[in-house]
Structure 1
Amino acid sequence: MPWKETTTMEQKIEFICEWRTGKYTITELCKGFDIYRPTAYKLISRFEKQGFEALREQSRAPGKHPNATSENIVDGILSLKTKYKHWGAKEIRELLFKDFTKQEVPSVVTVHNILKKNGFVCPQKRMRRVEPVYPIFNPKSCNEVWSADYKGKFLMGNKIYCHPLTIADSKSRFLFTAKGHYHENLRSAKAEFTKVFRTFGIPQQIYTDNGSPFGSLRTIQRFTQLSYWFIELGITPVFSDPAHPEQNGRHERMHRDLKAACAKPSAYDLKAQQRRLNHFVKEYNHIRPHEALDMKTPADMHHFSTRPFPEKIPNFDYDANYKVLKVTQNGSIRWKSYYWVYVTAALIRKYVGIQEMGNGIWRVFYRNTFLGFFDEKYLRNNEQATRLETNLV
């Protein structure tokens, strides 16, 4: 449809004005403006219905598309996103299969575009990918490795800090607990671990960072009282490298979801906050699909441990080739009545095993866990107390 050397809108308005005078027929107007009769009738029809605004250029996109997502599916997507605000398109799409057939459910890209169109997708800063650092624990079965950590504290409405303790299975991502505490201490942590062990059994290893009460960089092998309790239960404590939280990335990723769901905003007091934490655990384990689990839930993948929690710590008998010594009140063992070897205050009144390596070097064990070395010749030559060493020079 060719127009004169003016804007299209100006030509349309001029055409309507000429038509409204009644001085010209449609044929004359079409000839004067060099347009076709169907175009003229379309413009007149639009003007009569909506006025001059209807003369603006309109989209030529089809009103309907044969492959367009149906209204009920769009409503389902928006309803799920409203309920689970922190979920992405992959998780939302997975839940659609419960209400719609496989042929009806759109692709992940389509679900994402629907969410974006309706204002549910906010642009995020692209994060620099960090290469993983050794050690990386990639268990082959459930209950091989559990991870535990205190998620960073946050203020509740009553201006008191909440410290959530989280314990999860590293294989299935099953979150055993998210327990809010007032303090990060041995008593609180041990009570919650006991509750979880009684319900789900015990793992082979527990992987934590070096923060209290899990580990300490100042102690032998970074072991704390909680670590020695794990050892007594037959659990091996394992620690990430200092200042490398990315080594336990799957647990830190769960913490990010927990913070978004429970701490922004937080509840008024610990009782109300715990209700939010319990709701998050239930949703995380039984409802939210996980991409790392082929879009299954942790509850679908997890099974209970076959190792029950012993209510009473069993006695441990060292082999006959070990010297068995008791750790005294100052955290040391007395060697040959004259010398002192400092071990740790966490093992006061406990028994350690001493094994000779030769050339005056002795290895120290607590149960079946190696602690460190000491040199008998150093004690004799210097006639003073010494500490255990983890590496021979």
Structure 2
Amino acid sequence: MPWKATTTMEQKIEFICEWRTGKYTITELCKNFGISRPTAYKLIDRFENQGYNGLKEQSRAPRKHPNATDENIVKSIIKLKGKHSRWGAKKIRVLLFNDFTKEEVPSVVTVHNILKKHGLVCPQKRMRRVKPVFPIFDPKSCNEVWSADYKGKFLMGNKIYCHPLTIADSKSRFLFTAKGHYKENLKSAKTEFTKVFRTYGIPEQIHTDNGSPFGSVRAIQRYTRLSYWFIELGITPVFSDPAHPEQNGRHERMHRDLKAACAKPAAFDLKAQQRRLNHFVKEYNNIRPHEALDMKTPADIHDFSTRPFPEKIPKFDYDTKYKVLKVTKNGSIRWKSYYWVYVTAALMGKYVAIQDIGNGVWKVFYRNVLLGFFDERHLRNKEQSTRLETNLV
């Protein structure tokens, strides 16, 4: 009789028991159980090699597949994942081309499936969909816009905070530096910017947020002492809108990778932490493929700036159509001997130019940058300072 679907295993055991008695030939057993001779010999062979466990239903999947990924490639994928644990299938696949031919390297999906099969893929948290924000500073070439920021502070092993300053090219994503500081101040930032400018040249613009020492929402045009130093070098400072870090999203995304690589956990002291930051910069620029760069590295894309860093601030001569006034110690300019117009304390001792645009309204410039306006008709109180306005009403 044929096998019953519900008692298949019982029928197999009964067949083996009958065969072991030696009372029946294979032909008689096959006739009684309604199976073929090849099936009977297969069951006997499995029983002799594996015991009763060999009678269980076997997988029908082929043991070998002509399109299966080569074992050496699988081992290489697992090895690369162990070396770059935060990278996904796309980036790991690019590195396979260093050791294998184009025909041998599997697809991104295959690489992902191999990683998933070996438990090397962490499920990502579903992100809430938000309205897309288009970048307001989208450079078309290298060194047109650089971005800079202090990565959020984190505690090192010695219970002291590290404040990493990062500077990168917005087009190529090339990371010039990730320098750990004890404090976020003008001296530390200016020293590191000087070092980077001497090595890579200077950009046309530097894009930052509004935090110290880059910008201040209370200052005229948000400029700080660091901003005015950029202006003196011929660099235009530009800022994200307050509370909108997504406007410099590519820099913030890099910060996420930096935090995962260098701050979880952090090193014991700043010297050890700086070694981690330097390793991250080297890997980020030269090894890690970037999806926005067609899976090339930032080092493959970036070009040095053709504008060298001037060791001495170049002198600036205002046009003769302007009136030139000196910013006093209180951050103001004196107007008609006894009136004061407050500009900024960051320009103390420097010269600004003013231009009459009619109806008693004057424009105020520092070098070639417009700072704001003032209306001399509103200067009513002697010896009392009036602040600049950024827009005409």
Bin the TM-score by the shorter chain.
over 0.9
Q: Using the TM superposition, give the Cα deviation of residue 390 of structure 1 relative to its aligned residue in structure 2, in angstroms.
A: 0.8
1:156 partnered with 2:149? no
Opposite residue 178 of structure 2, the aligned amino acid is: A
Contact 2:209-2:241 at 8 Å conserved across structures:
yes
The separation in 1 between residues aligned to 2:18 and 2:243, in whole angstroms, is: 79
Q: Match of 1:179, SS?
A: strand
Structure 2 gap ranges (5+): none
Alignment of 1:270-285 (within 5 A): 270-285=270-285
Deviations, residues 180-229 of structure 1 (Å, cap 9, x unaligned): 11111111111100000000000000001111111111111111111111
* Inter-partner Cα distance in structure 2 for 1:193 and 1:306: 17
Q: CA offset at residue 6 of structure 1?
A: 3.1
SS of 1:6's partner is: helix
Matching residue's letter, 2:11? Q
**What residue number does 1:138 align with?**
138
What is the Cα deviation at residue 71 of structure 1? 0.9
1:266 aligns with 2:258: no
Aligned partner letter, 1:324: V
Helix, strand or coil at the partner of 1:333: strand
Bigger shift: 142-151 or 288-297? 288-297
Matches within 5 A, 1:93-172: 93-133=93-133, 136-172=136-172
Q: Which moved more, 1:247-256 or 1:228-237?
A: 247-256
How far 1:132 moved relative to its partner? 4.0
Cα distance in 2 between the residues matched to 1:46 and 1:163: 67
Contact 1:132–1:247 (CA under 8 A) maintained in structure 2: no
Is the CA contact 2:339–2:382 (under 8 Å) kept in the aligned structure 1? no
> Aligned with 1:242: secondary structure?
coil
Name 1:60's counterpart in structure 2: 60
Letter in 2 for 1:198: R
Correspondence 1:317 to 2:323: no
Q: CA deviation at 1:129?
A: 4.2
- Give the aligned residue type for 1:252: E
Counterparts of 2:11 and 2:252, CA distance in 1 = 63
Amino acid in structure 1 at the alignment position of 2:105: V
Retained in 2: the 8 A contact 1:361–1:373?
yes
1:1-393 aligned at under 5 Å gives the runs: 2-4=2-4, 6-133=6-133, 136-380=136-380, 384-393=384-393
Contact 1:89 1:108 in 2 (8 A): yes
Compute the displacement of 1:320 (Å): 0.8
Unaligned 5+ residue runs, structure 1?
A: none
Verify the 8 A CA contact 2:166 2:179 in the aligned structure 1: yes
Quote the Cα distance in structure 1 between the aligned partners of 2:115 and 2:207.
37
2-structure distance, mates of 1:113, 1:135? 34
Q: Is the 8 A contact 1:373 1:388 kept in 2?
A: yes
Looking at structure 1, the residues matched to 221 and 134 of structure 2 have their Cα atoms a distance apart, in angstroms, of: 17
Q: CA offsets per residue over residues 16-67 of structure 1, 9 Å max, x none?
A: 2232233333223223322222112111111111111222212111111111
3-state secondary structure, aligned to 1:230 = helix
Residues 64-96 of structure 1: per-residue CA shift (max 9 Å, x gap): 111111111111111111111111111111111
For residues 353-378 of structure 1, the C-alpha deviation after alignment (integer angstroms, 9 at most, x for no partner) is: 11111001111111111111111001
- Asked if the contact 1:135/1:240 (under 8 Å) is kept, the reply is no
Length-normalised TM-score, structure 2: 0.96
Give how far 1:260 is off.
Answer: 1.2
Q: CA deviation at 1:391?
A: 1.2
**Structure 1 residue ranges, 4+ long, deviating more than 6 angstroms after superposition:** none
Seen in structure 2, the aligned counterparts of structure 1 residues 129 and 311 have a Cα distance that, compared at 3 Å, is farther
RMSD between superposed Cα atoms in Å: 1.6
Distance in 2, matches of 1:134 and 1:48, equals: 70
8 A Cα contact 1:206 1:238, kept in partner: yes
TM-score normalized by the length of structure 1: 0.96
- Cα 1:133/1:383, change in 2 over 3 Å: farther
Q: Secondary structure at the match of 2:163?
A: strand
CA contact (8 A) 1:155 1:162 kept: yes
Structure 2 contact 135–248 (Cα < 8 Å) conserved: no
